[in-house]
A = this chain, B = another copy of it.
Amino acid sequence: MTEKQLSEVSVPARIAAPDEGITQDELHLAGRNHAMPLEALRYDITPVGLHYLLVHYDIPDVDPDRWRLVIDGRVGRTVEYTLADLWARPKVTRTVTFECAGNGRALLTPRPLSQPWLDGAVGTARWGGTPLAPLLREAGIGADAVDVVFTGRDHGIERGVEQDFTRGLPLAEALREDVLLAYEMNDAPLPPQHGAPLRLVVPGWYGMAQVKWLRGITLTNCPFDGFQQTTAYRLKQGADEIGEPVTRIMPRALMIPPGFPDFMSRVRVVDAGVHVVTGRAWSGRSAVRAVEFSADDGRTWAAAELGARAGGEGDDFAWYAWRFVWRTDRPGSHRLRVRATDAEGVSQPREQAWNRQGMANNMAQCVEAIVR
């Protein structure tokens, strides 16, 4: 190995060259992090190990007995909690659909180099924990507080900036009654890779807001300007733009690919006849109002039947079931697509508009099938 400096290793983000294959760096990330296999859309609650996972740096080695949560900054008094303290507080369980802000990135042309998601960076879990707002109120929210900054224990360097993963949330969002500090996933202790012993859950927001391995909460009197807020997770075109922040999840529907797969291409083989195609749809902005299916690559669309939302009362950001009865008698190749529309009328494009970090993509899923 030639002698490398850190400055040659931790470099600015880059866009793939035309026809540049997936790189070893992208593969390294793809091997660690994983999407939800789409057949797992069959489960209301995604089983642990099938829920998508993105770890920015390393999964930290946290000793739960020595772990503390500190709440400080623009508060009346700095407070510190042990896990036992949090377990003793009121417990709430919420069903929430999470999606990575970079879902779909590897489908963009040209491709931004980062975690190379196709379309499965999603999952729905039952998160159990204690509501955040009462903790903040007990600490005493400063009259000048504007952001609540959450710091995790995962440590790394990114584009030259050494950091613990840290994100801010506007105070009004942090005070929503459905925001949790979660210590359980699917009615079991939070697994290490999903943030044990404690993580943030902000229903409706993309995954970057759901800070894992939480160690600190700081109220600030000015908007948080850390790396993950002002450099990463921005919607922008040019490298020098500030861009717009990534916030809530865009509407999306996904189908369980019908038939069975070819091993290497993952193209589906489907027998001619009647197929009940099912899947899920969600939006972090409002309720899902419609799901449509297309068997001709999005030239024509037909309404799918929208079913129940997972979870219960108040689980506004859990996914909805849907089904479509697809009759096919034409052998040969088909491109199946599905799209959701939410209550604000926001839907999914057939072609993905490009942005430099490959964020908040929601192009309608495309499944290649060969009918026989």
The yes or no answer to A6 lying at the interface (CB within 8 A) is yes
Copies in the complex: 2
Contact of B118 with A28 in the complex, beta carbons under 8 Å: yes
Question: Which residues of B sit under 8 angstroms from A325, Cβ to Cβ?
Answer: none
Interface centre among A31, A48, A192, by most chain B C-beta atoms within 10 angstroms, is A31
Question: Which residues of B sit under 8 angstroms from A23, Cβ to Cβ?
Answer: 21-22
The yes or no answer to A53 lying at the interface (CB within 8 A) is yes
Q: Which of B22, B261, B262 meets A26, CB within 8 Å?
A: B22
Contact of A50 with B192 in the complex, beta carbons under 8 Å: yes
Question: Which residues of B sit under 8 angstroms from A333, Cβ to Cβ?
Answer: 1-4
Contact of A266 with B25 in the complex, beta carbons under 8 Å: yes
The yes or no answer to A300 lying at the interface (CB within 8 A) is no
Question: Which residues of B sit under 8 angstroms from A21, Cβ to Cβ?
Answer: 20-23
The yes or no answer to A239 lying at the interface (CB within 8 A) is no
Contact of B27 with A106 in the complex, beta carbons under 8 Å: yes
User: Whole-angstrom distance from the CB of A167 to the nearest CB of chain B?
Assistant: 15
Question: Which residues of B sit under 8 angstroms from A246, Cβ to Cβ?
Answer: none
The yes or no answer to A56 lying at the interface (CB within 8 A) is yes
Closest to A157 in B: B262
Q: A22-B21, A261-B57, A261-B156 are in contact. Are A30 and B27 (CB under 8 A)?
A: yes
Contact of B120 with A31 in the complex, beta carbons under 8 Å: yes
Contact of A263 with B37 in the complex, beta carbons under 8 Å: no
Question: Which residues of B sit under 8 angstroms from A5, Cβ to Cβ?
Answer: 332, 370
Which of A39-47, A87-95, A204-212 lines the interface with chain B? A39-47
Contact of A191 with B47 in the complex, beta carbons under 8 Å: yes
Question: Which residues of B sit under 8 angstroms from A40, Cβ to Cβ?
Answer: 59, 192-193
List, sorted by A's number, 28 A–B pairs whose CB atoms are closer than 8 Å.
A1-B334, A2-B333, A4-B333, A6-B370, A9-B370, A10-B263, A10-B267, A13-B264, A22-B23, A22-B24, A25-B264, A34-B34, A39-B58, A40-B193, A48-B48, A48-B191, A49-B49, A49-B53, A50-B193, A56-B263, A58-B257, A114-B264, A156-B260, A156-B262, A157-B262, A157-B263, A157-B269, A162-B269
Q: List the 4 shortest-distance A-B pairs measured between CB atoms, nearest first.
A: A21-B21, A49-B49, A22-B22, A34-B34
Other A-B pairs, 7, CB within 8 Å; known A1-B333, A25-B264, A31-B116: A3-B333, A10-B267, A30-B30, A32-B34, A48-B48, A113-B264, A158-B264
